[in-house]
A and B are shown apart, each in its own frame.
Chain A
Amino acid sequence: MHILLIALCLCYALGLVLPFCVPRKPQTQGIVGSVCACAASLIGITLGLSGLLASEPMTAIVASPIPLLAFAVRLDPLASFFVLTISLAGLAASIYAMGYLKEFHGRVSVAALAALTNGFLLSMTLVVIADNGFFFLIAWELMSLASYFLVVTEHEKADVRYAGFFYLVMTHVGTAFVIFTYLILFQSAGSFSFDAFRHPGQSLPEGMRTLVFLAALIGFGTKAGIVPLHVWLPYAHPAAPSHISALMSGVMIKTAIYALIRVYFDFLGGQFPWWWGFLVLLVGTLSAILGVMYALMEHDLKRLLAFHSVENIGIILLGIGAGMIFQTYGLKEFAALGLLAGLYHTINHAMFKALLFLGAGSLVYATHTRNMEEYGGLLRRMPWTGLFFLIGAVSISALPPTNGFVSEWLVFQTLFLSFQFPDLFLKLMLPIAAAILALTGVLALACFAKAFGISFLALPRSAHARHAEEVPVAMRIGMGILALLCVGLGLAPMIVVPLLDRITGPLTGVSISDKVLALDGWALAPVNMEFSSVSPPMLAAMLILGGLLGLALAFLFGGHLVKRYYKTWGCGINLSPRMEYTATGFVQPIKRVFSTIYQPTIKLETEFLQESRYFAKQRKFEFHIEPVFEKYLYDPVVHIFMRIADRLRILQAGSLHLYLAYIFVTLVVLLLFAV
């Protein structure tokens, strides 16, 4: 396994360097970088799987000359699982990139893009395998920086620069809290090694533990994109090239989930008061519902997908939060179930979100616009992309028999088991969370019906869409892999659950694989068959047989009939794209029903003909929803900082003498301290 790890690092390192060795050939640069990333990802998949199956965690350590820092890695099942997830998404994204990078030829440095992608993947892998706080922070920062540079790939656009800056600020606010978390742990442990964190973490005074909990939630939550710390996400993720968006939304935000589980269940030993779990649950519920609500109102396909990442992080946290509450009450099996549901959703979301972002990238590649209202009719022009996007849409809407359904089902079961609590408040709150999860699920369905329906169906709405062509083979393969995984992860819980059980087992102290799987693995039945069960393979079989029955009935009663093709009835005039429902129109009822949340502003200006007020010359329609969090939470904070900065500007007067005086004073003060 050590060899695999070295090979993995080596491949990524080659990917960092090699693209620069072929100057002036963007095509080759892209291919070389992507091949390195593919090779490394394949090794990563092997490494992750063997780490999950190994009986003992693999460790390695390389000492460093810097005190407190050691390049220590440890591949326990939790870390291996995330290595696996990162590598799977990395593999698909790198294959996709071989075709997709053509989009950037001549505009930006493809060598830099390819190299940074390798660096990004490497730093994410290092984050999850690091076994030393200092090393973790370095990897964490490298990951943030690599992704920042990837976000600002198209830096000639002002909005991309704004997105990048916003991301850079937010991620560093988050990092500050992460550092704070580790410093508290370091103070009592006396070392940055995770092993040392584990022991005193459990014996810290209560106040300190709470502080660690909150700082970690804010710090990692910023990266994960929980509400209200999510505001950077819908800017940064869409701004990046699409295969990078796929990696950021699919796996980068998951490293925060990894770190949360590591801190709460590993360092703090899974001992917490009930309100910790409840807070995580609350944050999860809010993120889920608000994420999907804001997504519904988006017509920029990539921004829409970015908001859905907020939603899905919420669903993951619902599972983990419920697990934490169960842990408090000593119901270890249910705690393991909640954690397992959260982790299952983590890998599922990584797969379908990456798939959808790659699909969105293909649409942008083919049409050169991100505005959904300019798509339309693309399923006929891009059948493969359409099919893959549909699989992703069905998965993210949690419809059977795909993977999203299985993990959301498990989250539902965890929430339903709340009747075991002694406390009436919690007994009521968890079913309400389940009801909100149900609402989230259907709104996601509505949102993806909109996204797919408006983009791929009916008539093309613009010249861009009329001239779209199917994307190159490499891009289709990248999407195809993920689409297969979406279906496979849904149909094979009997393989996934035992693997996940190897993670939750050590963290919660009980193995639940046998209790969750029933009928030789053909059905999932948390607790027992009596309480609840579901069998995804059976559901798939039922759906297929049901469809065949429908076909058989049609032939039995009707025989063979030739279909007739004719244009859609347009009330007497020829159908044009302008008569179709738009994305804005589609979500109008939802906007109106939930207007308390959206607080929409609608402006309609009509200019009439002079002769008569019955005929309009032109109409102008404007609509936007209130960015509540930015307006009431972020703007005031930014305002305060700007005012402080204004005051401090006096210091920077532009006079060289003054600056020399500063240096002199600083020197004197430092010398005084030294003495």
Chain B
Amino acid sequence: MSPIIQSLLLVTAQVIVLLTVSPFLVGLIRKVKARFQCRQGASVFQPYADLAKLFRKQPVISTTTSWIFTATPYILFASTLSAGLLVPTFTTQTPLNFAGNIIALVYLLALGTFFLILAGLDAGSAFGGMGSSREAIIASLTEPAMILSIFAIALTAGSTNLSTIVHKTALLEGIATDPSPHLMALAALFIVALAETGRVPVDNPATHLELTMIHEAMVLEYSGRYLALIEWAAGLKLAVFLSLIANVFAPWGIATTLAPTTMGIGLVVYVVKIAGLAVLIGVIECMFAKLRLFRVTDLLGVAFILALLGLLFFYILRS
């Protein structure tokens, strides 16, 4: 097999895995929450049906809007999917590893956020503006913590390219004798992931209350296929963050070669790992109340300090 065809196949596989797995994660979190609330809850596969339904619905578009409004779902979908291609999922053999490192990933996600904020403002309703305004402040506070925590990990692996980090950690190269820097970075990144994907305690994806909603407020005017793409992109973002955490901190089981058996095992292990994380998020959503918007600052401040401490520990332990 020529390397180009092989790369294309790997990229296609990655796209399919990400697109398939993301609605499942959303469904799983909902199921866990339902069970904690003593409800039966919808099937974990309900989000697939929701997406299919939304795609078939006739979209209603506000007359106030411009082309930004209709372009945003595609841009958001494209940027989130591109970010997903930079993160290793079931194999460390990601042909697009060269296309961007962690900074590129952060900025690709930011591209989606930028257009989503614009779309929120475009319809002219106060809800959209409110969501956009809140998204802007939360995005600003998460990014520094994210960059620092990733840098703390990158130092151990000697790389900022995600596949390289995961590959090296999986082969047990460069694992620190003391895991404390890693643990701190992990805690920081987990908080960041909760904030970036709009989960409790930062945002509640299950509510349409005007006082609390952030992401839902921005996409309030969307319907039909546009809403479907946005929902799918939100699921993808969740999958991206969970893959990032799962593979960077616990890469064991990931396929490091191209052998079909290891790939198969890698796929199963990957799904188990991110499903486990999704269950954890579901549990957290049940255990904690949503924070007041201006309390989120404290939480994200904690994430920043944790990441900084991780970095400090790394240098002190190494010297």
User: Which chain A residues have a beta carbon within 8 Å of chain B's beta carbons?
Assistant: 377, 379-380, 386, 394, 397-400, 405, 409, 412-413, 416, 419, 424, 427-428, 431-432, 434-436, 438-439, 441-443, 445-446, 448-450, 452-454, 456-459, 518-519, 523, 525, 529-535, 538-539, 542-547, 549-551, 553-554, 557-559, 561-570, 575, 577, 579-581, 585-590, 592-593
Number of interface residues of B (CB under 8 A): 90
Task: Report A-chain residues with C-beta under 8 Å of the C-beta of B221.
Answer: 568-569
Smallest CB-CB separation from A380: which chain B residue?
A: B66
Known: A438-B147, A557-B55, A587-B133. 19 other contacts (CB 8 A): A379-B66, A398-B107, A400-B111, A412-B103, A435-B304, A436-B144, A449-B132, A449-B136, A531-B159, A549-B78, A554-B229, A558-B228, A564-B59, A567-B64, A569-B221, A581-B129, A586-B133, A589-B136, A590-B137
Partner of A550, one of B77, B139, B159, B311: B77
The distance from the CB of B248 to the nearest CB of chain A, in whole angstroms, is 15
Most buried by A among B65, B144, B221: B144
Partner of A534, one of B104, B143, B311, B316: B104
A441 touches B64 (CB 8 A): no
Given A452-B118, A519-B98, A534-B99, A399 and B82 contact (CB-CB distance below 8 Å): no
Smallest CB-CB separation from A529: which chain B residue?
A: B98
A424 touches B140 (CB 8 A): no
The distance from the CB of B305 to the nearest CB of chain A, in whole angstroms, is 11
B312 touches A428 (CB 8 A): yes
B96 touches A546 (CB 8 A): no
Given A551-B74, A565-B61, A546 and B68 contact (CB-CB distance below 8 Å): no
B114 touches A547 (CB 8 A): no
B104 touches A581 (CB 8 A): no
- Interface set, chain B 213-234, CB cutoff 8 A to A: 221, 224-225, 228-229
Task: Report A-chain residues with C-beta under 8 Å of the C-beta of B229.
Answer: 550, 553-554
Task: Report A-chain residues with C-beta under 8 Å of the C-beta of B63.
Answer: 565-568
B143 touches A458 (CB 8 A): no
What are the nearest 7 A-B pairs in CB distance? A581-B129, A546-B78, A557-B55, A453-B121, A458-B124, A446-B136, A558-B55
Partner of B58, one of A380, A458, A563: A563
Task: Report B-chain residues with C-beta under 8 Å of the C-beta of A431.
Answer: 148, 151, 311
The distance from the CB of B74 to the nearest CB of chain A, in whole angstroms, is 4
Q: How far is the CA of A436 from the CA of B148 in the complex (A)?
A: 10
Task: Report A-chain residues with C-beta under 8 Å of the C-beta of B15.
Answer: 549
B225 touches A554 (CB 8 A): yes
- Interface set, chain B 48-68, CB cutoff 8 A to A: 51-52, 55-68
Q: How far is the CA of A409 from the CA of B99 in the complex (A)?
A: 13
A523 touches B59 (CB 8 A): no
Smallest CB-CB separation from A419: which chain B residue?
A: B155
- Interface set, chain B 262-319, CB cutoff 8 A to A: 293-294, 297, 304, 308, 311-312, 315-316, 319
Partner of A581, one of B65, B132, B154, B155: B132
Given A416-B160, A535-B100, A575 and B124 contact (CB-CB distance below 8 Å): yes
Judged by a CB distance under 8 angstroms, whether B113 is at the interface is yes
B121 touches A454 (CB 8 A): yes
The distance from the CB of B65 to the nearest CB of chain A, in whole angstroms, is 8
- In the complex, 28 of the A-B residue pairs with CB atoms within 8 angstroms, ordered by the A residue number, are A377-B66, A409-B103, A434-B147, A436-B144, A438-B106, A449-B136, A453-B118, A453-B132, A457-B66, A530-B161, A531-B158, A531-B160, A532-B103, A533-B100, A534-B99, A534-B101, A535-B99, A538-B99, A539-B108, A546-B81, A554-B229, A559-B56, A561-B58, A564-B61, A568-B62, A580-B126, A587-B136, A589-B136
Task: Report A-chain residues with C-beta under 8 Å of the C-beta of B57.
Answer: 558, 561
Q: How far is the CA of A456 from the CA of B101 in the complex (A)?
A: 33
Task: Report B-chain residues with C-beta under 8 Å of the C-beta of A435.
Answer: 144-145, 147-148, 304, 308
Q: How far is the CA of A456 from the CA of B69 in the complex (A)?
A: 12
Task: Report A-chain residues with C-beta under 8 Å of the C-beta of B78.
Answer: 542-547, 549-550
Partner of B125, one of A545, A569, A587: A569
Task: Report B-chain residues with C-beta under 8 Å of the C-beta of A416.
Answer: 151, 154, 160
Most buried by A among B99, B134, B154, B297: B99
B319 touches A566 (CB 8 A): no
Partner of B64, one of A412, A436, A554, A575: A575
Smallest CB-CB separation from A437: which chain B residue?
A: B147
Task: Report B-chain residues with C-beta under 8 Å of the C-beta of A577.
Answer: 124
Q: How far is the CA of A221 from the CA of B145 in the complex (A)?
A: 31
Q: How far is the CA of A427 from the CA of B166 in the complex (A)?
A: 24
Smallest CB-CB separation from B52: which chain A residue?
A: A557
Judged by a CB distance under 8 angstroms, whether B204 is at the interface is no
Partner of A453, one of B64, B117, B143: B117
- Interface set, chain B 156-174, CB cutoff 8 A to A: 158-161, 164
Task: Report A-chain residues with C-beta under 8 Å of the C-beta of B133.
Answer: 581, 585-589
B62 touches A438 (CB 8 A): no
A557 touches B56 (CB 8 A): yes
Q: How far is the CA of A386 from the CA of B228 in the complex (A)?
A: 27
Given A457-B68, A585-B133, A532 and B124 contact (CB-CB distance below 8 Å): no
Task: Report B-chain residues with C-beta under 8 Å of the C-beta of A434.
Answer: 147-148, 151
Q: How far is the CA of A545 from the CA of B78 in the complex (A)?
A: 7
The distance from the CB of A435 to the nearest CB of chain B, in whole angstroms, is 4
Partner of A547, one of B56, B62, B75: B75
The distance from the CB of A356 to the nearest CB of chain B, in whole angstroms, is 15
Judged by a CB distance under 8 angstroms, whether B47 is at the interface is no
A443 touches B140 (CB 8 A): yes
Q: How far is the CA of A386 from the CA of B67 in the complex (A)?
A: 11
A593 touches B294 (CB 8 A): yes
The distance from the CB of B208 to the nearest CB of chain A, in whole angstroms, is 12
Task: Report B-chain residues with C-beta under 8 Å of the C-beta of A565.
Answer: 60-63
Smallest CB-CB separation from B225: which chain A residue?
A: A554
A563 touches B59 (CB 8 A): yes
Smallest CB-CB separation from B84: which chain A residue?
A: A546
Q: How far is the CA of A234 from the CA of B40 in the complex (A)?
A: 60
Smallest CB-CB separation from A378: which chain B residue?
A: B66
Judged by a CB distance under 8 angstroms, whether B141 is at the interface is yes
Task: Report B-chain residues with C-beta under 8 Å of the C-beta of A566.
Answer: 60-63
The distance from the CB of B185 to the nearest CB of chain A, in whole angstroms, is 12
Most buried by B among A431, A519, A566: A431
Task: Report A-chain residues with C-beta under 8 Å of the C-beta of B89.
Answer: none
Q: How far is the CA of A546 from the CA of B224 in the complex (A)?
A: 19
B143 touches A438 (CB 8 A): yes
A394 touches B59 (CB 8 A): no
Smallest CB-CB separation from B297: which chain A residue?
A: A593
Task: Report B-chain residues with C-beta under 8 Å of the C-beta of A529.
Answer: 98, 161
Q: How far is the CA of A431 from the CA of B158 in the complex (A)?
A: 15
Smallest CB-CB separation from A405: which chain B residue?
A: B107
Most buried by B among A431, A568, A586: A568
Q: How far is the CA of A401 from the CA of B68 in the complex (A)?
A: 18
